[in-house]
Structure 1
Amino acid sequence: MRYLTLGIMLCASLVVGSTVQAQPIDPQIAAPVTRFIDAFNKGDVAGAAATHASAADLVIIDEVAPYLWRGAKAFETWMGDLDRDAKAKGITDQQVTLGKVTRVETNGTSAYVVVPSAYAFKEKGVAMREEAQMTFVLKKDPAGWSIHGWTWTGPRGKKITTATK
């Protein structure tokens, strides 16, 4: 009986714990994140870079070596490394889709935003999809909100099959 009770409690906690609700986000905070992804998807490197602070505290963590970029040129350096990695692996047709924001914390001049994301691409002609979380840190200055850091966190991409579409 004790094991049955523990099993029921575990199942209940998994069901309750896995329920993630979207959180409302100030459109001004969301704007740089949305512009970044839209520009990335269009191949507009300058537009994507414009959403990031050109500051010493800019930090990017991603799955491409060397995995960590920081400083005023972090975005440009990351983009170059991403491009080299894509060419080496035969990756094309890169697209990122953002889900609904699951967490927002803000104190008025800094914000922390978590959003589920999906990265679709072709690797040597094979359609792939990678589910992840993106976590952004933004700061507000007189010009508005800008991205000061972000991470991409998730498992490796998987081949898209009928079951994964």
Structure 2
Amino acid sequence: MKSLLVGLFCSMGLAAATDATAADPQLAAPIRAFIDSFNKGDLKAAVATHTGDVAIVDEVAPHVWRGPGAVEAWAGDLARDATAKGLTDQSVALSPATREVVSGDRAYVVVPAVYSFKDHGKPMREAAQMTFSLQKDAAGAWKINAWTWTGPEPSPAN
């Protein structure tokens, strides 16, 4: 199963988050690392950007994943959904953060995102937002402890 997910991630070709910057580069680092590792098909590295107790909300069923193993469960459900729907060439591009709130060892970051893919060969696009909640770990590094994808229905790419 792990090799299937890695293969799917590699075939999806998710774009690196080089444009996803927060005013505080330490906040941007785990977001970039998450998307970059996902882009490379490195599920282990993607998981490492999150706390052990994470929550994810996404448009893919079952729509919410919580706790240890949530990132892996979400990735598996995403892979199954893409295969079932005939989606290929998926990519996510992130823009600079539009909102950033830091409260001690917790943070909230909103990042515009664009999901591009082909639906049975037809180019599609979904402009959306990813909202991240981050928490500092014991070593003082920011980790993602929750994120959500929020967007309208995809439309044909122009």
TM-score range, shorter chain: 0.7 to 0.9
- Report the counterpart of residue 66 of structure 2 in structure 1: 70
- Report the counterpart of residue 105 of structure 2 in structure 1: 109
Deviation at 1:24, TM superposition (A): 5.0
- Structure 2, unmatched stretches of 5+, are 1-20
Deviation at 1:94, TM superposition (A): 1.5
Root mean square deviation, CA, Å: 1.4
- Supply the AA of the counterpart residue of 1:108: G
The 5-angstrom pairing of residues 37-48 of structure 1 reads 37-48=35-46
The Cα offsets for residues 67-114 of structure 1, whole Å up to 9 and x where unpaired, read as 011011111100000000000001122211111111000123000000
Measured in 1, the distance between the counterparts of 2:103 and 2:75 equals: 30
Runs of 4+ with >3 A deviation: none
- Report the counterpart of residue 11 of structure 1 in structure 2: none
Measured in 2, the distance between the counterparts of 1:37 and 1:115 equals: 12
Measured in 2, the distance between the counterparts of 1:147 and 1:60 equals: 10
* % identical equivalent positions: 56
- Structure 1, unmatched stretches of 5+, are 1-22
- Report the counterpart of residue 59 of structure 1 in structure 2: 55
The Cα offsets for residues 17-48 of structure 1, whole Å up to 9 and x where unpaired, read as xxxxxx95211111000111112223222221
Contact map agreement 2:22 2:28 (CA 8 A) in 1? no
CA spacing shift, 1:71–1:136, aligned 2, 3 Å: same
Rg larger in 1 or in 2?
1
The 5-angstrom pairing of residues 146-157 of structure 1 reads 146-157=143-154
Report how many residues are paired: 137
Measured in 2, the distance between the counterparts of 1:70 and 1:100 equals: 27
